[in-house]
Amino acid sequence: MAVYTALDAAAVDALLRTFGAGPLQSFSPIAEGIENTNYRVVADGGEYVLTLYERAPAGQVEGVLRVTETLAERGVPCPGARRTAAGKLLGRYRGRPVSLVAFASGESVLAPREHQLEHLGRVLARLHGCGADLVLPGRAHAPEQLLPASRELARRLAAERPDLSELAALLLEECLWQESRLPDPPLPGGLIHADLFRDNVLFAPGGVRVTALLDFHLAGRGPWLFDLAVVLLDWCWGQQGVDGDLARALLRGYRGVRLMEGAEYRQLPVLLRRAALRYLCLRCERFLLPDRERMWGVRKDPQEFAAKLDTLRGAGQGEPP
Dump pLDDT digits (tens) for 243-296.
999 999 999 999 999 999 999 999 999 999 999 999 999 888 877 765 555 545
Q: Which residue has the higher pLDDT, 139 or 120?
A: 120
Q: Where in the chain is the domain with CATH 3.30.200.20?
A: 9-102
Distance (Å, rounded) from C-alpha 131 to C-alpha 66?
12
Q: Where in the chain is the domain with CATH 3.90.1200.10?
A: 114-315
At 106 the pLDDT is: 92
Residue type, 219: A
Which fold, 114-315? Aminoglycoside 3'-phosphotransferase; Chain: A, domain 2 (3.90.1200)
Question: What is the reported pTM?
Answer: 0.90
Residues across the chain? 321
CATH of domain 9-102: 3.30.200.20
Dump pLDDT digits (tens) for 43-99.
977 899 999 998 888 999 999 999 999 999 999 999 989 999 899 999 999 999 999
At 317 the pLDDT is: 46
Residue 223 has pLDDT above 60, yes or no: yes
**Count of alpha carbons within 13 Å of 15, Cβ hemisphere only?**
30
The DSSP line for 65-103 is HHHHHHHHHTT---PPBPPPTTS-S-EEETTEEEEEEEP
